[in-house]
Amino acid sequence: MRAIRLIFILWLTVIVLQGCIEPFSPVIDDYQEMLVIDGLITDKEGIHTVTVSRSSLYNKPGLVYESGCIVNIYDNNGNIINLTEQSQGIYSAWLEQQFLNAGTQYRLEVITSDGSIYQSGFETLFPCPPIDSISYEVISVERDNPLYGSEQGAQFYIDSDAANYEAGGYRWELFEQWEYRSRYYAQDYFDGHINHVSQLGISDSVYYCWSPVRKINEIYTYSTSQAISKEIRKLPLTYVSNQTERLKFDYCLLAKQYSLSETAFSYWKKLQEQANEAGGLYERQPSRITGNVYNVDDPDETVLGFFGASGISEKRVFLKKLGYLYLIYDIYYEQLCDPVGYSPGELMEFLNGIDINEYPIYLYNYSGTAEGPWDYIDQACVNCLLRGGDTLKPSYWE
């Protein structure tokens, strides 16, 4: 009885505290539009891109792309590469391997449509060590709300030996992808009338899917300039929770490792610290982080973004057979895929109201025979394409 009373008090406290939260919208009268220039040169032959945009209003976040610019990249060997505008504010060029050498210094120049000239400092392209390994551990994590208990997931780590490399630091970009499946095979369907498909005719063409590659929006950096050893061992990366379907079948994580100059490391480290800031009432306020680009004629103008040069290495890791971690999302998904509960008459009335361009409409067959009865189910539970993925297995998938 005492335990029940305690739980009730905790529940009531949470409700009251949530009811006391009021949204805060700052009044910003003096808005200063700022130019944002981002670009990166790597040691890999291919398309290299520079983005030029303007900062947007606080209450209207988004990118305001800057068109009509002249964008050039210079190196300390006298080479000049002109980037062309592929789409609004996106400037790119194919750079051949002979232009992308370790030890070379690169500088960006952007001339906007009003004639303003912006340049970056020279950035040295340092070679990047290979990634030795990406490992993971299954761990339990306490949730923010103690009433919800803990959850399990996979914590990733990275190892790399930078002992013979000169870079001042490193950063990592992570990309994830996973296999997922439909709840039911494509069997009985409606295309003006109900068609029964026998067990032998069941199709798995829309049963197996792979999600789009998704960039993980987290920043990871590490400095070797102050470290006793330049061996990077078990550096924590992302954590993947069991509260989504990502770990139910096969999961793939791609890590891209970039070498950084001291200037670049300082910039990315500040972004990482700001991104990881908890944001409580007495936490430090977000600062305006400027990069290495400046207005040639007005050095006091604030310019955001960074132009860098990096060596790059990458590695993929696959997680398999972690389906035992998949729990909470499974309960939700099973309920979502339950038959609606239409009577035969209600089902036909519903199906006849569907546009023919949406055919075939897959159905749930209670008996599995040609006699039915049938019911409607969410089509995403049969056709995995409706959940945003692709049925084409990636060529690199193990």
- Residue 209 pLDDT class (50, 70, 90 cuts): very high
- CB-based burial label for 29 (10 Å; 0-12, 13-18, 19+): exposed
Q: How many domains does the chain have?
A: 2
Query: Does residue 248 lie within any of the structural domains?
Result: no
Q: Is the pLDDT score of 89 beyond 90?
A: yes
Is 335 a residue whose pLDDT tops 90? no
* Residue 3, pLDDT score: 41
- Residue 91 within a domain: yes
My answer on whether 69 and 199 are in the same domain is: no
Q: Model confidence over 348-364: pLDDT tens digits?
A: 999 999 999 999 999 99
Among 70, 99, 124, which residue terminates a domain? 124
| Whether 61 and 203 share a structural domain | no
Report the alpha-carbon distance of residue 119 to residue 307 in Å, rounded. Answer: 9
Q: Residue 161 domain-assigned? A: no
Task: Indicate whether 203 and 333 sit together in one domain.
Answer: yes
Do residues 343 and 196 both lie within one domain? yes
List the CATH number of the domain containing 63: 2.60.40
DSSP assignment letter at 77: T
Average pLDDT over residues 218-232: 86
Q: How confident is the model at residue 7 (pLDDT cuts 50, 70, 90)?
A: very low
pLDDT of residue 328: 53
For residue 50, being part of any structural domain is answered with yes
Query: pLDDT at position 98, please?
Result: 92
For the chain, percent of residues with pLDDT exceeding 70: 83
**Spatial distance between the Cα atoms of 44 and 37, rounded to a whole number of angstroms:** 21
Q: For 199-203, 376-380, 386-390, which range has the lowest pLDDT when averaged over its residues?
A: 199-203
Question: Which domain-ending residue is among 84, 109, 124?
Answer: 124
What's the confidence (pLDDT) of residue 145? 72
Looking at residue 9, its pLDDT comes to 39
393 lies in some domain: no
Among 82, 107, 124, the domain boundary falls at: 124
Q: Does the structure show a pLDDT above 50 at 205?
A: yes
- Give the N- to C-terminal CA distance of the chain in Å, as an integer: 53
The verdict on 200 and 333 lying in the same domain is yes
pLDDT at 324: 63
Q: Does position 15 have pLDDT exceeding 70, yes or no?
A: no
Mean of per-residue pLDDT scores for the chain: 86
The answer to the question of residue 118 being in a domain is: yes
How does pLDDT run across 274-293, given as a tens digit for each residue?
Answer: 887 644 433 444 457 889 99
Task: Provide the pLDDT for residue 32.
Answer: 66
Q: Is residue 14 part of a domain?
A: no
**Burial category of 295 from C-beta neighbours within 10 Å (exposed 0-12, middle 13-18, buried 19 and up):** middle
CB 273 within 8 A of CB 265: no
- Statement to judge: residues 195 and 47 lie in one domain: no
Say if residues 177 and 267 touch (Cβ distance below 8 Å): no
Q: Are residues 193 and 120 in the same domain?
A: no
Query: Tens digit of pLDDT for each residue in 321-333?
Result: 666 665 555 555 5
> Is the model's pLDDT at 149 over the cut of 80?
no
78 and 88 in contact (C-beta within 8 Å)?
no
Structure confidence at residue 29 (pLDDT): 47
Instruction: Print the domain residue range for 65.
Output: 35-124
Decide if 333 is inside a domain.
Answer: yes
pLDDT in tens, 34-55: 999 999 999 999 999 999 999 8
* 39 and 120, same domain (yes or no): yes
Helix, strand, or coil (residue 120): strand
The pLDDT of residue 20 is above 90 = no
When pLDDT is averaged across residues 7-11 and rounded to a whole number, the result is 43
pLDDT for 277: 67
With contact defined as beta carbons under 8 Å apart, do 242 and 325 qualify?
A: yes
Q: Which tens digits make up the pLDDT trace of 299-318? A: 999 999 999 999 999 999 99
Please report, as a single letter, which amino acid is at residue 175.
F
What phi and psi values does residue 42 have, to the nearest 5 degrees? -120, 175
